[in-house]
Structure 1
Amino acid sequence: MSPDPSTPAERPWLDADRPVEERVDALLAVMTLAEKVGQLHQTANIDPAADAELIRSGAISSSLYASGATGGNVKDEGLLSSAIDSAQAIAVEESRLGIPLLFGRDVIHGHRTVFPIPLGLASGWDESLVERACEVAADEAHLEGVAWTFAPMVDISEEPRWGRVAESFGEQPVLSGRLGAAAVRGFQGEPVGEKGRLAACAKHFVGYGLAAGGRDYDTVSVGENTLRNLHLRPFKDAVDAGVLTVMASFNDVDGVPMHSNRRLLREVLKDEWGFDGVVVGDWGGVGQLMNHGVAADLREAAVYGIEAGIDLEMVSGAYAAHLAELVESGEVDPALVDDSVRRVLRLKFRLGLFERPYTGTPGRSNAPTGATRALAREAAHGSMVLLSNNGVLPLPAEPGTLLLTGPFVQEGEALLGTWVLDGRGEDVISPEAAFRERLGDRLLVQDNRFSERGVQLVRQADVTVAVVGEHPWRSGEANSVARIGLPAGQLEVLHELAGIDKPLVVVVYTGRPLELGPVLDLADAVILAWHPGVETGNALADVVFGDVAPFGRLPMTFPRTTGHIPTSTHQRPTSRTLTPEQDKTEGRYLDALVLPRLPFGHGLSYTTFSYGEMALSATELSRAGGSLEVSVGVTNSGERRGREVVQLYFRDPVAQVTRPNIELLDWARLDLEPGQSGTARFTVTADQLGYFGRDLTRRVDTGEVVLMVGPDASRGERVSITVTA
């Protein structure tokens, strides 16, 4: 270690013209062991006054701002840019080496301009939309000093009891992977380190969506083959997109907690995939190895964490308390510490923190603007899925008297969704505000506090729009449920409203798939709206009155009941695979059908579409880098403009391991006027049909592959192709 560097010549890492790796080498060479350990310690809610000496000594590398371990459920007081700048000034101007701090915050689906929850964004099946939304979120958060967000979440799950499905992009690896990669590009920009962008974080690595019983933080029983063929795939897409950080998950995998899982973190993520970014632990995750029962104390937990590949330790303080001593005693290889420090420094250089350590443009507001609201409205349109419609929608511009009823009619903040730390309820356009603007005194409003009053108003109205569903408190982290029906009392009220035998439209706000069979049976039309964000009311009115035709498609399967979970496109052939006809005769339950009420990819429009025959450029595909073209003509056979999401699936009937009964391969969006025809075109490569076999190596088999094109995962034309050697 050299003496304190004080001149520019002694601080070559400050030369922005040097390559990043040279700057990292130069800085690493002059660091003490204590300073290295400091770069691996993340605290929460740093206080520039109370923590001044720790910052000055280089004992803190990063801080996240959150109200606690489940910050998505409890709002904090918001970011304080002056405190961030004060802490940064100590680190940059008063510490020996001038290494800037890295400030992180959960910017999940918007900052001040709040977009639909990720599961809602996924319903649009639109990579560009996700990228643009994340770009807006990054710009707004960066103004307040945030440099790092803990998103996107790309966990794959078929478990709607698990509250965190709200943060996901759905159950299919291709959809989740492509939207996750789009989120990475939106948050980080190109080139990485642009002003107004954030480091993204792919989470939670890996298998968290398999938590037993849908109970958050619970154990996971899964083999590496299933991980590779399903759960690891969207993470690989995020890595390929250049994601700068990856977060370890709370769960164990087959008995090995992820915060101590050397096989998956170090050998697969870092070595096999070549990920050169930062692996961050989740809140207290290293320390919680004691809770898992694999570490006797915090000291042992620190050993397991650094050996597994956790670079930046969040909150528990295991590294800060014990890592230097462990290196000095020879119990931890100093090369492991150097590797992790190198990754953290590389991240800070890539983000431009050494050149721009302070908060964004002084005096510029990050409140929603006309442009960001327009994007939020577009995103909310895409999040809405028309589940059923007997012709009542769209409503005419003059619908007579309309009753808007339900617990969400006047809500703002409750429609922002889970994990919204900086959005404000007063920024939300409520359903009542939007409908009032259109209808004036022809709108009746009732919030369902007194259901008997609602029934009276139904009699006075020509049509009723009931807005029901879950409050965000019922979704997100640590908010699992044992039953996925509507919250208590809501279905009973819908029964009363439907009993008057007047047109009834039901809008469902939710953070998870729900058991909606009874609602579908009662209502004339059902719209799934998720939690749509700041433009909730405007977007709903646009769709209900037909200004915008609904075009959302389900990113998760909706099971018939809680007892049917898991139900998804993940299901694989069994010794007695069930066909739809067998489901009606033999079944697998005595008291219910098995197949889902609403399949993956389902969604209606205000028009109809007819499909022509599938055309192939060839019926054979060489596994040695071959490809073929698939096309299908689609005609808008109805009377209104609409968007069809044409979905391409495949099935591998005979493989070395069991493969899904159906798997999404690609999709295309066609916007068609009445009577207009368009063609959806896809390129299918041999690599897209590959999988990991018994020996955990990737392979493409020769033989038959079945392709299917249709409007959802349950229906469409099937054609066989042959993969050749």
Structure 2
Amino acid sequence: MDAPAAPWFDPALDPVRDLESRVAALMAEMTLEEKVGQTHQVANIDLAADTDTLRAGGIGSSLYASGATAGNIRDEGVLAGVIDEIQEQAVGGSRLGIPVLFGRDVIHGHRTVVPIPLGLAASFDPDLVRDCAEAAAREAAVDGIAWTFAPMMDISEEPRWGRVAESFGEAPVLAGRMAAAAVAGFQGDDPSSPDRLGACAKHFVGYGLSAGGRDYDTVSVGENTLRNLHLRPFRDAVDAGVLSVMASFNDVDGTPMHAHRRLLRDVLKDEWGFDGVVVADWNGIGQIVSQGVATDNREAARLAIVAGVDLDMVSGAYRDHLADLVRSGEVAEELVDDACRRVLRMKFRLGLFDGSATPERRPTGNEPTPESRTLARRAAHAAHVLVRNEGVLPLDSDGTVLLTGAFVEEGDALLGTWVLDGRGDDVVTPAAALSEALGDRLTVDQGRFADETLKLTRTADTTVVLLGEHPGRSGEANSVVDLGLPPGQLDGLRALAGLGKPLVAVVYTGRPLDLTAVLDLADAVLVVWHPGVEAGPALAEVLTGANPPVGRLPMTFPLSTGHIPTSTHQRPTGRLIRADVDHQEGRYVDALTHPRLPFGHGLTYSSVSYDAPMLSAPGVAADGSVTVSVRVTNTGHRDCGEVVQLYFRDPVARVTRPLVELLDWRRVELGAGASEDVTFEVSGAAFVYFGPDHVARLDAGEIVLMTGPDAAHLQSVSLSVTGTDPTWAGTP
């Protein structure tokens, strides 16, 4: 692949210091059509049909996907050799030699699949998320991929929406830290390294509020709620250096996001200073027509480029209409220049002009290795959340165990949604792993015949039943109206529980489910999400106690589908809901209000007590900090890991604020009987919020700080914020 002799290919130029001069030198040589070409993305370039377009500079990027909902349909995988042939035409056969940017959905692993992002969020471990993203980047780079459409950080309290599986949960601070960690893992310190990928923060913004939990639906939300909740993780990703941001399918209060100038151009680009690429979602520009805001693709292209969408994913609207819109005076050429400049800037940052993706520089070999499997097992273990245990776990070292349920010998179904390149054959199944761990003490039953399963349950000391949803029930375009278990599973569980033998329920899922009946029927319940290639070994280690559970719920599990929305987003109303008077002042006449499984919940094989939190000082200034400390004690007889959580509430503000909001957390290891003083350094700036005028502010007054094991079991202390100016000049 021979690049033309040109200043933007000069190897003596520093790729960071000389970035803008290289971009400018290239753009000075480009025609309007070539600039438009950089804004056009196709799906799966076909050399037989697209060679002439490539040589003319008419294709800027390509994604490799099976279709509009690629997370639900496996394709044949990526062939690096084909990518190399395409680059040969783009670089060696075109006038300017601009390489094509190749993207693919690498969501939670490439060949080595780790838990779904919601499962990774249960770890409360950003370092783990960074390590998993780094490993995925290396494996994808082997196949010639340079860009992934991850991480997703949509904030949602709507578990009917299948795409919560791709998210990092409901808390902005958790989602933001996990997103920043994923960006760091994918891109590293130098995104141009051959083993790194460009990351993409998606979906901007408000997608988690889709009406009724229905994918692609409308969103009714004000800018204040967006700023105080949904925009925050995106700001964290931008601050972490993410190279691209994807616009979301939804509208926001009537304006499609692909045409939303206020949020894309004014806030993301101008206010935040984001200089990367805003990419459309699949046919997102064309869908402006379907949303009834544009009459045709020509008008949709005008609306999108004005709004700030730089790269058109597969609709062809920019390719077909942008140049003519400029010549007619309907679109300023400066807008096309800005979009082209951003795309080229990203390609330079990824080292594509310097050969980072060429065969001789790419890493080799991307099948799961002992090292990648060790990481995958670490991640799968961290995703296991023990939500109930009446003394049956860990399993008795001498007892017999029946393992039953649809997932016992499954591989592919344990990988989860959005797995394009993982293989079911690489999964270590629960049956295989527990057979190795328990030997002849284990009986495996697939649960196909209920009468046989009941017979086996009568003779086993403990039954472990694997329940939950197939990954085809979560992810994109897979919303549900009922959060209960899939049909038939609860009936089978009731029959097993009726025998009165110790019963453990393991729940595989891509979303929070209504587990009320499961919690009543089973003696122990583990939520393990869809855990990836090391599903079996991680489960075996947790059940036997070789590696006790450490996960915590990153989303609230509602009491029923009818309780949605239920989350830590709840703000005060005219009449507060209080747990101690819920039977009097509840919002329902036929049910209690508060969730049984709150955000942050997760048990250990021991027990931990919390003292009341203490402050190093009674007040904090806007530019100061205060230390919050709480003593936690392992009151049990086993060592354990505990996630100590810090929440806050702003009782009086200019807008309603959450009743409890996660502020920080610490993971500590506690020996049996040991105590530890856990400290948090909290700055005054932590309490900045956006007021009714959409301006960041910090008010003087009381802040309530709360510590505990989850969002529902907290002890509080009051802090006074002093010496503030309501107009906050810093970064919120």
TM-score range, shorter chain: over 0.9
Moved more, 69-78 or 628-637: 628-637
User: Quick check: 2:142–2:363 contact (8 Å CA) kept in 1?
Assistant: no
Partner of 1:70: 69
Q: Deviations over 1:117-141 (max 9, x none)?
A: 0000000000100000000000000
CA distance in 2, matches of 1:288, 1:710: 46
Query: What SS does the corresponding residue of 1:113 show, helix, strand or coil?
Result: coil
Partner of 1:93 in structure 2?
92
Q: Which residue pairs with 1:426 in the alignment?
A: 425
- Shift in Å, 1:676: 1.9
Q: Does structure 2 retain, via aligned residues, the 8 Å contact 1:143–1:360?
A: no
State the 1:307 CA deviation.
0.4
Give the letter for the 1:226 counterpart. T
Distance 1:139 1:7 in 2: 29
1 CA distance for matches of 2:566 and 2:643? Answer: 22
Structure-2 separation of matches of 1:192 and 1:143: 15
- Secondary structure of 1:110 counterpart: coil
Q: 1:11 to 1:519 in 2, by over 3 A?
A: closer
Aligned partner of 1:499 in structure 2 is 498
Q: Is the 8 A contact 1:144 1:360 kept in 2?
A: no
CA distance in 2, matches of 1:304, 1:358: 37
Contact 2:325 2:331 in 1 (8 A): yes
Q: What do residues 441-470 of structure 1 show as CA deviations (whole Å, max 9, x unaligned)? A: 332111122111111110121110000000
Q: What is the aligned partner in structure 2 of residue 409 from structure 1? A: 408
- Once residues 369 and 103 of structure 1 are traced to their aligned partners in structure 2, the CA distance between those partners, rounded to angstroms, is 25
- State the partner residue of 1:521: 520
Cα distance in 2 for partners of 1:354, 1:621 equals: 50
| Cα separation, 2, equivalents of 1:46 and 1:6 | 20
d(CA) in 1 for partners of 2:153, 2:376 = 21
Once the 2 structures are TM-superposed, how far is the Cα of residue 208 of structure 1 from its aligned partner? Answer: 0.1
Query: 619, 641, 644: which is aligned to 1:643?
Result: 641
* Per-residue Cα deviation, 1:232-259 (whole angstroms, up to 9, x for no partner): 0000000000000000000000000000
Task: Give the corresponding residue for 1:386.
Answer: 386
TM-aligned CA deviation for residue 398 of structure 1: 2.5
Distance 1:450 1:605 in 2: 34
Spell out, residue by residue over 1:490-547, the C-alpha distance to the aligned partner (whole angstroms, 9 max, x if none). 0000001111111100000000000000000000100000000000000000000001
Amino acid at match of 2:410: E
Residue in 2 that maps onto 1:680: 678
Matching of residues 181-220 of structure 1 within 5 Å: 181-220=180-219
Q: Secondary structure at the match of 2:353?
A: coil
State the alpha-carbon separation in 2 of the partners of residues 15 and 313 from structure 1.
33
Q: Deviations over 1:355-379 (max 9, x none)?
A: 1242476793201111111111111
| 1:47 corresponding residue in structure 2 | 46
Question: What's the counterpart of residue 338 of structure 2?
Answer: 339
C-alpha contact 1:649 1:662 (8 A) present in aligned 2? yes
**Residue 440 of structure 1: how far off its partner (Å):** 2.6
SS of residue paired to 1:527 = strand
More off after superposition, 257-266 vs 709-718: 709-718
What is the aligned partner in structure 2 of residue 560 from structure 1? 559
Distance change in 2, residues 1:719/1:11 (3 Å): closer
Q: Which runs of 5+ in 1 are unaligned?
A: none
Q: Is 681-690 or 406-415 further displaced after alignment?
A: 681-690
User: Structure 1 residues 104, 9: CA separation in 2 closer, same or farther (over 3 Å shift)?
Assistant: closer
Partner of 2:375: 375
The counterpart of 1:669, out of the listed 667, 670, 675, is 667
Tell me which residue corresponds to 2:613.
Answer: 614
Alpha-carbon separation, structure 1, partners of 2:360 and 2:393: 46
**In 2: Cα distance, 1:454 partner to 1:266 partner:** 60
Alignment partners' CA distance in 2, 1:326 and 1:711: 58
Match of 2:58 in 1: 59
- 1:257-406 aligned at under 5 Å gives the runs 257-356=256-355, 357-359=357-359, 364-399=364-399, 401-406=400-405
Which secondary structure does the structure 2 equivalent of 1:67 belong to? coil
Using the alignment, how far apart are the partners of 1:98 and 1:131 within structure 2? 34
**CA distance in structure 2 between the partners assigned to 1:286 and 1:311 by the alignment:** 11
Name the CA distance, whole Å, in 2 between partners of 1:172 and 1:227. Answer: 13
Contact map agreement 1:13 1:24 (CA 8 A) in 2: no
SS where residue 346 of structure 1 aligns? helix
Distance in 2, matches of 1:10 and 1:367, equals: 39
Q: How many Å apart are 1:614 and its aligned residue? A: 1.6
Q: CA deviation at 1:43?
A: 0.2
| Separation in 2, partners of 1:98, 1:236 | 34
Residues 3 and 97, structure 2, Cα contact 8 Å, conserved in 1: no
Q: CA separation of 1:442/1:494 partners in 2, compared to 1, >3 Å: closer, same or farther?
A: same
Question: How far apart, in 2, do the equivalents of 1:9 and 1:233 lie?
Answer: 41
Equivalent AA in structure 1 for residue 369 of structure 2: T
Q: For the structure 1 residues 704 and 483, does the alpha-carbon distance in structure 2 shift closer, same or farther, using more than 3 Å as the test?
A: same
- How many aligned residue pairs are there? 719
Alignment CA distance shift 1:161-1:11 (3 Å): closer
Distance 1:186 1:643 in 2: 25
TM-score (norm 2): 0.97
Q: Provide Cα deviations, 1:531-584, integer angstroms capped at 9, x if missing partner.
A: 000000000000000011111000000000000000000010000011001212
Contact 2:141–2:362 (8 Å) recurs in 1? no
Question: Could you say if the C-alpha distance between residues 484 and 339 of structure 1 is closer, same or farther in structure 2, counting changes exceeding 3 Å?
Answer: same
- Which of 689, 699, 702 is the matching residue for 2:700? 702
Distance 2:375 2:80 in 1: 26
- Is 2:4–2:92's contact at 8 Å kept on the other side of the alignment? no
Q: Deviations over 1:329-372 (max 9, x none)?
A: 11100000000100000000000011124247679320111111
Q: CA deviation at 1:12?
A: 5.6
Q: Specify the alignment match of 1:532 in structure 2.
A: 531
Report the Cα distance in structure 1 between the residues aligned to 2:318 and 2:115, rounded to whole angstroms.
37
Contact 2:194–2:361 under 8 Å retained in 1: no
Q: Which amino acid in structure 2 is aligned with residue 305 of structure 1?
A: A
Tell me if structure 1 keeps the 8 A contact 2:138–2:363: no
Which amino acid is 2:667 matched to? R
Q: What's the counterpart of residue 118 of structure 1?
A: 117
Instruction: Please state whether the residue corresponding to 1:491 is helix, strand or coil.
Output: helix
Cα distance in 2 for residues equivalent to 1:455 and 1:710 = 41
CA contact (8 A) 1:108 1:150 kept: yes
Partner of 2:730: none
The one-letter amino acid paired with 1:8 is A
Partners of 1:566 and 1:193 in 2: CA distance? 42
**Distance apart, 1:704 and its partner CA:** 0.7
User: What's the offset of the Cα at 1:686?
Assistant: 1.4
Aligned mates of 2:426, 2:194 — CA distance in 1: 26
Could you list the runs of 5+ residues in structure 2 that have no partner in the other structure? 724-732
Once residues 9 and 622 of structure 1 are traced to their aligned partners in structure 2, the CA distance between those partners, rounded to angstroms, is 55
Contact persistence 1:176–1:234 (CA under 8 A): yes
Alpha carbons 1:559, 1:565 under 8 Å: kept: yes
Q: Quick one: which amino acid aligns to residue 235 of structure 2? A: K
Partner-residue secondary structure (3-state), 2:47? coil
Equivalent residue for 2:14?
A: 17
Q: Percent identity among equivalent residues? A: 64
